[in-house]
Structure 1
Amino acid sequence: MKIFITGGTGFLGKSVVKRLLADNKELHMLVRSPEKAEHINNSNVNLIKGTLENIHEWQHKLAGMDVVIHMAAPVVFWGKWSMYQKLVIDATVDLLKYTEMNKVKKFIYISSESVLQDKKDLLNIDESCPYPKEPNSYYGKSKMIAEKKILESPSKVERIILRPTFIWGNEVAAIQAMISKVKQGTFSWIDHGNTIIEMVHVDNVAEAIALAVHKGKDKDVLFVTDDNPKKAKEFFTDMLSTQGIAIPDKSLPRFIARPVASVTEFMWRVLKLKNDPPITRFDLAFVSMPRSYRIDQIKNKLGYKPVVSYQEGLERMKKI
């Protein structure tokens, strides 16, 4: 089976490549620079130089593929809307169009739980939960629009959308940002960290993607989690402790932090400040928005179950 991958050199992509190679798949990876894939030494991996901004130049490479897995996106939560429009929405629409033109059978899109995040708690929900009017980040909004365009497209390609929750594991970028805030004394729990949140180990997402390659059906939209919700304080304390970092107990109530985040965002946009704001609505939601998801659908449709447990994931992080 021939699989075309975008985002194969990223945090998630590395695990997906490893998982698919274990299944002896032939991979064709889009790379901005071949040097980024030097760590891959496998005859089943072919590199295609290109970006999401010049799809028309390399789209012919999709010919002969069985599946396209689209993971590449700017995983940043502050920036100009034009970036998200171009690299998330437009790139996804174009890639799906060329996927069909080249007669590829299946298109797997890696989305995010952030498509549903606005102000409301997201407890015990499933995939039938409607989209909010306006997600609390441009990232979530762009992913939401991309999902809608995929599902509304008249394309004959089988389209599967996976929505991972917060992806964690070795090399997760978010941990460095949190460590930096702790060291600078700017980190604070919200509501003492008692909020229930969901997470998913990077190798569990890779497992879900591998299953979707064979079992995913057209217009499947599926949450991917560790099936193990935890309080924010427990999870982030455990994760940072693997790096020898202790988080202080300082806390703010959400009813105070929420308007502060909204005002901060407003000021940064009005003043057109180039640096990232110290707090955004998404930052706040990351540690304080209650959320838990039912994953009956991915279990029933794909036969998914986590392959890496919570404790095993933490033990792996201690070794880096």
Structure 2
Amino acid sequence: MDALVTGGSGFVGLRLIRRLVEDGHVVRALARSDAAADKVTEAGAKPVPGDLSDFAILAEAMSGSDVVFHSAARTSRGGGRDAFERDNVTGTRNVVAGARRAGVRRLVHVGTEAALMTGQALVDVDEAAPLRPDSPAPYAASKAKAEQVVLAANGEDLETVVLRPRLVWGTGDSTVLPELVAAVQTGRFAWIGGGRHLTATTHVDNVVLGVLLAAERGRPGEAYFVTDGEPIVFRDFVTELLATQGVTAPGRSMPELPARIATSAGETLWRRLGLSGAPPLDYMSLWLSSKECTIDIGKARTELGYQPIRTRAEGFAELRA
């Protein structure tokens, strides 16, 4: 097939491009900078200059594509609510409009379990759980709204499918692992409430598999969760993840209640004063570090034929190497 990838220079996007090229597909990737163009070229895709701000440019980039893989998103902790709305919501609307104008057959959107989060635990959650565009976390709210845009766009002229991984990790990660290492090295790391809750995870290779299966077999207008399979104790996962970089996880812990109070105060202060960056502890980091998140992937197993291809042990070994 002929495919276009947004976010191709990112963590998931680069892995996806390499897999598509290995499988013999023609791949183009949106590139908003020379550095991004160099990355996607190295991965085997043809770079197409542009970004998510103009659907006409997107439509031109998508011309001739059978499938568009939309993996571009703002994930950084800073930037403010307006930046998340612009990049994740308006950007996704432009991707949908561009795909329609270009006559694309199918759009696969890389979503996230965060689209369901408002601060509650997610226990054995499945696709029937409601999206939460009202989330106090700008990232979560924007990804919920983006998914609503994608699913509402499904129709005879454009098939849309959403894939939702949880806690994406592996070689090439430029967000989760580097931030954990930096927190330990600067003395800011602490387990919240002991960190002994269960969490789902999704190795980047398992994400890419899910994305490809969604393109091939996903029912139009549907969303699918994918993970590494059985959940793991958050503390055990993070300890092993840090160890792959030669970093020892500290034993320091703080109760959840003070962490929640500090997070709420910091988020409010940053929002009201329009401060740059992110507060020391933001909503998404708090929820990741303190709330159970376990996911039922039965729908993906049944309808997509999904089965994780990369184990955690294999992923940890790759990171060590």
Taking structure 2 as the reference length, what is the TM-score of the superposition?
0.94
State whether structure 2 residue 162 is matched by structure 1 residue 161. yes
Give the counterpart letter for 1:19 in structure 2.
R
Structure 2 CA distance for partners of 1:56 and 1:304, relative to 1, 3 Å: same
Shift in Å, 1:274: 2.1
Shift in Å, 1:134: 2.4
| Unaligned 5+ runs, structure 2 | none
State whether structure 2 residue 290 is matched by structure 1 residue 288. yes
Q: Distance in 1 between matches of 2:74 and 2:277?
A: 17
Checking the alignment, whether the CA contact within 8 Å between 2:2 and 2:26 is kept in structure 1 is yes
Q: Distance in 2 between matches of 1:295 and 1:163?
A: 10
| Count of aligned positions | 319
The match for 1:16 is 16
Checking the alignment, whether the CA contact within 8 Å between 1:26 and 1:44 is kept in structure 2 is no
Give the fraction of aligned pairs with identical amino acids, expressed as a percent: 29
Shift in Å, 1:63: 2.1
Give the counterpart letter for 1:17 in structure 2.
I
Q: Distance in 1 between matches of 2:152 and 2:292?
A: 30
Task: Give 1:53-202 correspondences, 5 Å limit.
Answer: 53-132=53-132, 134-153=134-153, 155-156=155-156, 157-172=158-173, 173-202=175-204
SS where residue 38 of structure 1 aligns? Answer: helix
Give the counterpart letter for 1:95 in structure 2.
V
Checking the alignment, whether the CA contact within 8 Å between 2:192 and 2:256 is kept in structure 1 is yes
Computed over aligned residues only, the root mean square deviation of the Cα atoms, in angstroms, reads 1.7
State whether structure 2 residue 30 is matched by structure 1 residue 30. yes
The match for 1:46 is 46
Deviations 1:200-225 (A, max 9, x none): 00011011111122112211201111
Deviations 1:144-182 (A, max 9, x none): 011112222364311000111010001212111111111
Tell me whether 24-33 or 310-319 shows the greater mean CA deviation.
Answer: 24-33
Taking structure 1 as the reference length, what is the TM-score of the superposition?
0.95
The match for 1:267 is 269
Checking the alignment, whether the CA contact within 8 Å between 1:77 and 1:137 is kept in structure 2 is no
Shift in Å, 1:45: 2.7
The match for 1:205 is 207
| Unaligned 5+ runs, structure 1 | none
Shift in Å, 1:278: 0.7
Deviations 1:288-318 (A, max 9, x none): 1111000001111111111111100000000
Structure 2 CA distance for partners of 1:43 and 1:136, relative to 1, 3 Å: closer
Give the counterpart letter for 2:171 in structure 1.
N
